Structure 1
Amino acid sequence: MSASFFDAIGHMGEQVALSWLILDLTDNPFMVGVSLALRMAPLFFLGIPAGTIADMVDRRLLIRSLNIVMGLLMVGIGALLYLEMLQAAARSRQPILQNLREFGGELRRNTPLLTLVIIVAATETLGFSSGATLPSLARDVLNVGAEGLGWLNGFRSGGAVVAILLLSLFGEVGRRGALLLLNLLVFGAALVLLGQSPVVATFLPGGGTSGESASLILGQSPAFVIALLATGIVGGAMAMSDIFSQSMMQNIVPNEQRGRAMGAWIVGIGTAPIGNLQVGAILKAAGVGIALSANGIALALVGAAIFAFYGRMRRM
């Protein structure tokens, strides 16, 4: 648990630094989404064989080696960003505390920004935490083992890439607030479908949870195929959530406060440990299906409530 906690901190810190760097270099919020998609692209190719590789080697040695490599890469990138930060600080004469006070006032005045922070926190807590359920789903419900877990993670990453590519076809889109709220509904529905994939499979001809008791679809049980599709939709919704929330936060604050807006975004995604703990607790107490379905329904209700009671967000 402690390893997951610190891993989440490092992952989120890396994502914020990368997002801000890309925005600073391109001044294009859409490119932030592209960079995050490219960051996930290797997972699309490595996710499927990952489960098999994990069974072929010493897992503890593999994890330690990978963490060392990732740590060295982050240190290098961090050093570059630190040098850039020093140069930016030298150019700025405005005290940091004054900047923080100004942004605090902006957050109190700017209701859309505060609402976006709430949306990001809800999405992180209820939606992104679904990754913690995939091992149990693969082993205990779908009976597909480590290889199946690799497929689930691969489809989730692939769904993110596909969503970015589809969005790029439309270029700059309007009414991003409405699209963000709609994305919450889709995200929630996909989580429910993922959690209830064995149940949904029983309504299909010859449906079931295992190859021995069900008619196979492309060599796989119907429940596993449904879970793969649902996981792909979840990955797409995750990518859309990051793109819309980050770009909207950048656009509703003055240019000199964009860095602090990203700080507000990291506050929202900093709820990741809470999400992992709560989904783990529900998973242990009531099972994978209930954990995913409960979070999916709650996430959809957040989107529906904001859509119904805060018209300004859906008009943005």
Structure 2
Amino acid sequence: MVESVPKKSSQFLRALRSRNYRLFMAGQSVSLVGTWMQQVAMSWLVYRLTNSAFLLGVVGFASQIPTFVFSPVAGVLADRWNRRYLLMMTQALAMLQAVILAAAVFSGIIQVWHIVALSLVLGVVNAFDVPIRQSFVVEIIEDRADLGNAIALNSSMVQGARLIGPSVAGLLVATAGEGICFVMNAVSYLAVLLALAAMKLAPSPHLGKERRRVLHELKEGLDYAFGFTPIRTILLLVSLISLTGMPYTVLVPVFAKEVLKGGAHTFGFLMTAAGLGALIGTMTLASRKSVLGLGRSIVLATVTMALGIAGFALSTNLAVSLAALVATGFGAVRVVAGSNTILQTIIEEDKRGRVMSFFTMAFLGMAPFGSFGAGTMAGIIGPSETLLVGAVCCLGAGLLFARQLPAMRAVVRPIYVNMGIIKE
């Protein structure tokens, strides 16, 4: 049920009228802080053990490549089965991975190959978790007018955790070691499991329908997504950004230690700066009353991201580097969250899981190739030059998307008219 809220409630928080969404936000907020703590601690652990940018790229590749392979299957499952039960399974498995990682660190047996293997396991779990979770958000927002706000708030939650997690992890790694971060991440998954169990959900409209073979439904989803100009254009943009721009995060430990001459604290601050920019970006998106104008906003965000990456690549000053990462985080999240919002408002309900799995492939599935490429290029031409190449590619992707905007608007306009977003 959509519950009443005080009249003075901000437009920014309107999606919280749904009890189920409030539970979702509460559980995920706790868990995501732990996730970011583990990610930062793992990156620092790898670099401390190896001093290798290449191995940072290998770990990033291992944690993300399963998304490219398994996400399409996850999308089919999300359109077939109960999404809440699927999410409870993935969260429990992720908690188990964190427990094993913590045990390996505290026992003193941890080696790089352990981290690569456990990253691969978590990658498989996330390959199923992310598209299912993206599709599940729609089920817990009964008023579809709040959908765009819910997606933006969800991104704000992610970035808020990104703001807190790396800072806490940096302090804990410097004082107590990486293992405590893995323990706290394992405990944080309990919040999600409890929130999911407490939800009261109506029967899902996608359940109980006659289903065909998995490969047939996968092909049906592919034909729909890549035969529809707006979806195809958005997926291409997100793929290019993920491949060439997002890998800057893999090289942040190198810049923290080698360029800025810092330690775990510096690394945490740099990641926090990117998180702050992303949080600001999602808050401005959540304040929007309509999806109209998001296409133009995505173009500007892509340019901002490209300039931020270039500034970070050229900086040798901590303050300048922090400012550049704020701009990078701001632009990156507005590209991804804005693209997600447009997709969620135009796709057909019975294909939502599959389309969001393709979006997950574009965003997370392309990242391992970017991470591996960035780590390899950094060892050959240097980290600064690698990021400059990525910045130029992001700028080109934004210009390509801008050229496609008129064609996208012509196709999307009838959909928005039918939804009442645009009045004839």
- Structures share fold, TM-score greater than 0.5: yes
Query: CA shift at 1:150, angstroms?
Result: 0.9
- The alignment yields a C-alpha RMSD, in angstroms, of 3.0
Alignment correspondent of 2:134: 19
Q: Describe the SS at the equivalent of 1:92.
A: coil
Alignment correspondent of 2:172: 53
Distance 2:319 2:273 in 1: 11
Alignment correspondent of 1:256: 350
Q: Describe the SS at the equivalent of 1:143.
A: coil
Selected match of 2:280 from 162, 179, 200: 162
Using the aligned pairs only, state the percent identity: 17
Amino acid at match of 1:307: A
Distance 1:106 1:163 in 2: 30
- Say if 1:150 and 1:171 are closer, same or farther in 2 by CA, change over 3 A: same
Query: CA shift at 1:143, angstroms?
Result: 1.3
Amino acid at match of 1:50: A
Alignment correspondent of 1:265: 359
Distance 2:244 2:251 in 1: 12
Query: CA shift at 1:145, angstroms?
Result: 1.6
- Say if 1:94 and 1:86 are closer, same or farther in 2 by CA, change over 3 A: farther
Q: Which sections of structure 1, spanning at least 5 residues, go unmatched?
A: 199-222
Q: Describe the SS at the equivalent of 1:144.
A: coil
Query: CA shift at 1:197, angstroms?
Result: 1.4
Amino acid at match of 1:258: R
**1:210-229, aligned counterparts within 5 Å?**
223-229=317-323
Amino acid at match of 1:197: S
Alignment correspondent of 2:396: 301
1:164-223 deviation digits (Å, cap 9, x = unpaired): 22233332242322222222121111111111112xxxxxxxxxxxxxxxxxxxxxxxx1
Distance 2:124 2:385 in 1: 27
Query: CA shift at 1:13, angstroms?
Result: 4.4
Alignment correspondent of 2:163: 44
Query: Contact 1:8–1:273 at 8 Å: present in 2 too?
Result: no
Query: CA shift at 1:96, angstroms?
Result: 5.5
Alignment correspondent of 1:204: none
**1:108-147, aligned counterparts within 5 Å?**
108-147=226-265
Alignment correspondent of 2:384: 289
Query: Contact 1:49–1:147 at 8 Å: present in 2 too?
Result: no
- Say if 1:71 and 1:281 are closer, same or farther in 2 by CA, change over 3 A: farther
Query: CA shift at 1:133, angstroms?
Result: 1.0
Distance 2:312 2:319 in 1: 10
- Say if 1:146 and 1:7 are closer, same or farther in 2 by CA, change over 3 A: same
TM-score (norm 1): 0.80
Q: Which sections of structure 2, spanning at least 5 residues, go unmatched?
A: 1-58, 60-115, 413-424
Distance 1:153 1:12 in 2: 23
- Say if 1:158 and 1:12 are closer, same or farther in 2 by CA, change over 3 A: farther
TM-score (norm 2): 0.61
Selected match of 2:295 from 159, 173, 177: 177
Distance 1:247 1:84 in 2: 23
Alignment correspondent of 2:154: 35
Distance 1:242 1:95 in 2: 32
